[in-house]
Structures are given as structure tokens and as C-alpha cells.
Structure 1
């Protein structure tokens, strides 16, 4: 069942992408030879107005085949015989429709659970936040020039730009509707750390994310693993995990950590590290709040923006070598993660499972849109680069050479897919 659900989610996202190509191709008079839902052998097909509409066996995607897209064709409706702007719109529509789908999914999620405001909820006396003049109830709107809408924007900012010194941080915020700005100097301290992040107030399972320097990583625990016990004490939620750590301060002694990796339980010893740590000196909201109709629309747009920006930043870490190739995830890992969500229905209820699956849909749809816009041959972004060059030059590049470049890009993508497949198998099952 969980595999079917995962495949259906993939199928809907990819089909919506192809629908964008299809609608704009039709609008511009480009002949679409086949529009298919699914892949593999045809189960059903019907030809209507020069287009074959097909339903195929495997619910893992779809396709929109345009006449003359990769070859020379004299037909007036062939892709390469249309204006450059008609072709640009047909190609760009695929990623655009992914962002549109993400927005509609976000409308459902934000409408159901609300949003996480970037509200300050605690400012310890004598902390960096207190010295900067922050107060409980302030709404953070910007950190070092990066806009903040959600509380998780703050976490994401420091995940991608960890504080490594006491360099000043510019913080903009609202207090009783008034826009204010301050300079915050991070506090430096040394303490024992585990090198993980998680949602301390969440009633969901204690799923962890590894930081750059992590005692958990050294013990063999991976991103996304779920903590189920610490020193023999069972923890069912992130909140229980956080409560245990608050009542048992780290002192350098080894901890017995029981965790699940791909539904397999393991127990290892983890020794906290003495780490120089910089803190911003305030805590911010971890919960969600309902909002009105206009707020739902506004925060749904921001939800899509959040995942687009997070995807772009993650790609930046990959291309700069800050993320190892072994941390890349492909379809197998995603199916495994989606399967874990489906399996959780007895613990969190079917309503919350549906919301989590819609959240995954937002992430995956926005991710697919961004990935397809990368300037890589064979992807939509690569084709757009050639079309933009054609628009600037006033004439197309050599079709055969362009086709050869796209073929090389396709081969490279297939090699990457094979790598991701085996990397997923290693990370998911071993």
C-alpha cells in the first residue's frame, strides 16, 4: 500500500509537469504526438485531434511528446518551426506548473494547520538577544538581509550559514506593528553537544538532522533516523527526547541511544563533544497558528517560496562540496520516507498522515520545478538556455549540435540516476 501511495504522488507531480508542457504547446499550435499518464506499456489509448492520449502500466510519471522537438520536421506544427517565444513558453510551462501545483497543495496544508510565525517566545536575561533589545512577542522579519516569514526560516538560515564567530548579526523585527532593527552579537560558550537538530516541541517522532560536526554521525546514525530510547528510557516524541536532555544535562559521559533506521532498531553509544558554541540568545515559536483566508493565500505563496529557496541553497552546498555525494537521495529513498509516513497512520491518525503527504507533495513538486530549470542539457533548463541564445542571436544554433549536447546530457542524467539508485539501496537497506 505504501509503495502505491508513493508512486501515485510521484505520478501526479510528474503528470502535472507534463500537463504544463501540453497546454502551452497546444495554445501555441505545436503538435503533441502523445500525452501519456504513467510509463511502460499502454493500457489504453485514444487518438483525438492528432494527439494520442495514453494510460500506461506504471504510475510513476508521464510524458508530453511534441512533434519535431528533437528532429527536423517540415510540418507547420512542429516544435522547431514555431517562434522562439512559443517554444520558450511550452518548455517553461512544465516547471511553472510544478510551482502552481505546490501552491495548491500548500493551500490545503496551510488551511488545515496554519503557519509557524517567527515570534520570539523567550529571551533569557543577560543573553545576546536581551543585549540586542529583543522582547517576547517580537516578530522576526529579516536576518542579515534574508527575509523571514516562518519560524523555520530562522532555523534554515543558520543551518546554511552556521554562526562561527561573534560577528554582528543584523536582525529586523516588528513590535506592536512598528518596524525595528537591531544588531545582535552572538554569545560564545563551550558545552557538550550531540551535533543534531530536531523539533524540541513536536509531538511527532524524534527524527534528527545531523549537523556538520556530529557525535551521532560518528556513531553511525544517519540523517532522518528516529530516536526511540536514550539510556534505556523510551522516547516516543521529539518533546520527550528534549525533556530527557533538559533533565539530564550532558557531561561528556557516553549515552546509550536506540534508534530506527529503515524500520530496523539499533543501539549505539554516543559520546557528546565539548564544542565551542555560538548562540543568538532567544527562542522562537515552534508551533502553528491558524490564519484567515487572505493569510492562507499569502502563507501558501511563502510556503512554495520556502521550498524553492531551500532547494536552491541545498544545490549550492552540493556544488560547493559542503554536502557529500553519499547524502544525495533518489526515488528509492523518497519512496522509503513516504512509506514511513503512511506507516505512521496508527500513531498520528489518518488526518495527520494526509497532511504530511501533502507537505511532501509541496516539497517534491517545488523541488522538481527547480531541478528542471537547472541549465543542464536534456532538462528544461538546458533547452531554455539554447532558446534564449537563439532569441538573443536572432537565429538558432546548429540543430544537430544542439541535439548531440542534449544526448550527452541525457546520458549523464542516466548515469546519475543509476548512482542515486545504488546510493539509495545502500542508505535505505544497509
Structure 2
């Protein structure tokens, strides 16, 4: 069921994108030879007028094939290149624009049902630097270190991608009783000593993963090992571990760790690593607030703005090396993510299940719109670059050269898709 829903959502988004191209091709008198959903061999098709409508085997794409689209024939009646440059720009841009339209409509439905998430301060630590700087419960954060904040999720994503470092100064703008204030402060630092491992859940002492460069990894522990004692004190489970740390906080003094691996006991003496974390000194809302009327349209638009900004920020992180190719997902990863969201949402009731499905559709549709507008060969954005150049020069770029550039871009894109799909499969299995 979850795979079927994922395929339906993914296919609907692609279909709407291609319909944008199709509609504007027709409006500009350009013939469409085939309008298809999917890739590969045809499963089903029928002819109506000049256009063949097809459903193909692989539900991971679609196409709107136009007359003369990949040739330099301008005198062919109804061909793509015979249309005005403005008309061709509208045809190419229509696909991504329709993705944004679809995302906006779905976002409005979501906001109408569940509301929006204001970045409202819900708690301020007493005596903290931010409290002394004037931040109060109920203030709504509108800017954080120069980054405009419309929604709480804006703030969350920015903080996730931009770690606060010791000594950093935080500058925030907040709304307080309709008045905008500027809050400037330097966060306190929390000092902890860590062993450097993650557990699968709070009740377990089995090592799920090790943190690179931290003491347990350097001592040779591996994922799957189970910590059974610290300094000779038996640690039966996660609760016993937490109780031990409360009574014997870790410091820069060495400790002896006993762990089980494949039924055998081993010991390792390690020195916990100091870990210093700046403390914001406040927490903010991550829940939803109901709204109505024109506010629904406003916050629906802000949801799309958030999706677009997040996509662009992620691309920036990818280009600068902060994110790697392993963080990318293709059709296989997208279907898996939708399926996982579906399974996790079933227990929350029918309304939240479908709101989460719609939210995935909003994210994917806005993401597809942004990605297709990137000025790269073979993408809509790359084609728009050549059309804008043609509009400025008042004559087209050599069609043969343009075709070769798009073909090279398509080959690179297909190679990237293979790599991403391989990573998706590895992550799933």
C-alpha cells in the first residue's frame, strides 16, 4: 500500500509538471506528438488528434514530446522552433511554474486544516544571557543572525545548517506586542564529557554507532558491542547507565569500560572527551497554530517560500562540500521516504496521515520546480538560458551546438541518477 501511494504521489507531481509544458505548447500552436507518464516501454497508449497519450513501464519520469523540439527546422508547421521566442520561454518555464502552483494549492489545504508554525518563544532560561538581553516568553522571532524567519521551521533549518560556535554573538529580531526589538547576546557554554557513542534506544547499552574521533572509537569498540560495566560497576541497561552518570559524572579522569562482544568480555581504559556546546538559552514553538481567511493563503505561500529556500540552502551545502552525494535521494529514495512517512503516520489518525502525505507532495513538487530551473544543460533551466540569450541577441544559438550541450548534460544527469539510485538502494538495504 505504501509503495502504491508513493508512486501515485510521485507520478501526480510529474504529470502536473508535464501538463504545464503540454498546455502552453498547445496555447502557442506547437504540436505535441506524445504526452507520457513514466519511462521505458509503453504499457498503454491511445491516439487523439496529433497526440499519443502513453503510460510507460517505469513510473520515474514523464515527457511532453513536441514537433521539431530537437531539430533546427523552423519552417515545419507547428514546430517548437517555429514559435516565437517568448512563446517557447513560456512553454519551457510552464513545467516548473506548474510545480509551484501545485505545491501552493496543496500547502493552502494543509494550512487550512492544521495551521502554521510561528517561531514563538515558549521558554527563556532564567538568568541566561538571552534573558538578560530582554527576550521574553511569547516573543516571535522574525530574524536570526541576518536570516529572515517566517516560520519556526525556517529557524530550525538555519540552525541545523549553521552550528552555533563558542564565542559567537547571536543577533535576533523579535516581535513583542506589535513592536520589533533587537536582541543581541553571547550564549553561555555547556561543558560535558562524553564517551562518544549512540544507542538504538534509551533502554539499551548496545552501541548502535560510534562518533568519529571520540574515545570509544579510538579504543577499538565497534557497533554491536554492549557496554556492561564502568569502573567495575555493572551497567545492566540504559536506566542504570543514566543513574551511574548522575552519581559519577564523567570528567577528564580515565574510566575503565567493560563491554561484551560475541559473548566475550573486554575492557578498555579511556579518557572522556570534553564537549563544549553553546546554549541558546531559550526554546521556541515547533507546533502548529490554527488560522483562517486570507491568512491561509499567506501562510500557504510562506510554506512554499520555506521549501524553495531550504532546497537552495541544501544545494549550497552540497556545492561547498558540507553535504555529500550520500545525502542526495532519487526516485527510489523518494518512494522509500514517502513509504516511511506513511507507515509512521498511520498511528496518528487519518487526518494527520493525509496531511503528512500532502506535505511530502508539497516538498517534492517545490523541489522539482527549483531543480528544473537550475541553469544546467538538459534541464528546463538550461534550455531557458539559451532562449534568453536568443531573445537578447535576436537570433538563436547554433542549434547543433545547443543540442550537443544538452545531450552531454543529459548523459551526466543520467550518470548522476544511477549513482544516486545506487546510494538509495544501499541506504534501504
The answer, yes or no, to whether TM exceeds 0.5 is yes
Match of 1:46 in 2: 46
1:346–1:30 CA distance, 2 compared to 1 (3 A): closer
1:317–1:173 CA distance, 2 compared to 1 (3 A): same
Residues 375-395 of structure 1 show CA distances to partners (whole Å, capped at 9, x for unaligned) of: 111011111111111122221
Instruction: Give the unaligned 5+ runs of structure 1.
Output: 197-209, 222-229, 235-242, 257-270
Residues 259-304 of structure 1 show CA distances to partners (whole Å, capped at 9, x for unaligned) of: xxxxxxxxxxxx9853221222211112111111222211111111
CA contact (8 A) 1:116 1:287 kept: yes
CA contact (8 A) 1:184 1:280 kept: no
CA contact (8 A) 1:193 1:250 kept: no
Match of 1:365 in 2: 365
Match of 1:207 in 2: none
After superposition, the CA RMSD in angstroms is 3.3
Structure of greater Rg: 2
Residues 89-134 of structure 1 show CA distances to partners (whole Å, capped at 9, x for unaligned) of: 1111111111111111111221221111110111112213212211
Match of 2:275 in 1: 275
Of 177-186 and 389-398, the range deviating more from structure 2: 177-186
Pairwise CA distance, 1:165: 3.9
For the residues of structure 2 that align with 1:59 and 1:387, how far apart are their CA atoms?
Answer: 30
Pairwise CA distance, 1:345: 5.0
Match of 1:262 in 2: none
Of 166-175 and 317-326, the range deviating more from structure 2: 166-175
CA contact (8 A) 1:128 1:282 kept: no
Match of 1:305 in 2: 305
Match of 1:288 in 2: 288
Pairwise CA distance, 1:415: 0.6
1:304–1:220 CA distance, 2 compared to 1 (3 A): farther
Match of 2:82 in 1: 81
Residues 335-394 of structure 1 show CA distances to partners (whole Å, capped at 9, x for unaligned) of: 222222232355323332211111111111111111111111101111111111112222
1:298–1:277 CA distance, 2 compared to 1 (3 A): same
For the residues of structure 2 that align with 1:220 and 1:64, how far apart are their CA atoms?
Answer: 52
For the residues of structure 2 that align with 1:382 and 1:14, how far apart are their CA atoms?
Answer: 19
For the residues of structure 2 that align with 1:383 and 1:348, how far apart are their CA atoms?
Answer: 44
Match of 1:172 in 2: 173
SS at the partner of 2:71? coil
CA contact (8 A) 1:35 1:53 kept: yes
1:255–1:91 CA distance, 2 compared to 1 (3 A): farther
For the residues of structure 2 that align with 1:302 and 1:22, how far apart are their CA atoms?
Answer: 28
Normalising to structure 1: TM-score of the pair? 0.81
- Between the two proteins, the alignment pairs up a number of residues equal to 385
Of 396-405 and 37-46, the range deviating more from structure 2: 37-46
Residues 142-180 of structure 1 show CA distances to partners (whole Å, capped at 9, x for unaligned) of: 112221111121111112222124233321111111122
Instruction: Give the unaligned 5+ runs of structure 2.
Output: 198-208, 224-234, 260-270
> 1:182-331 alignment to 2 at 5 Å?
182-192=183-193, 232=237, 251=250, 274-331=274-331
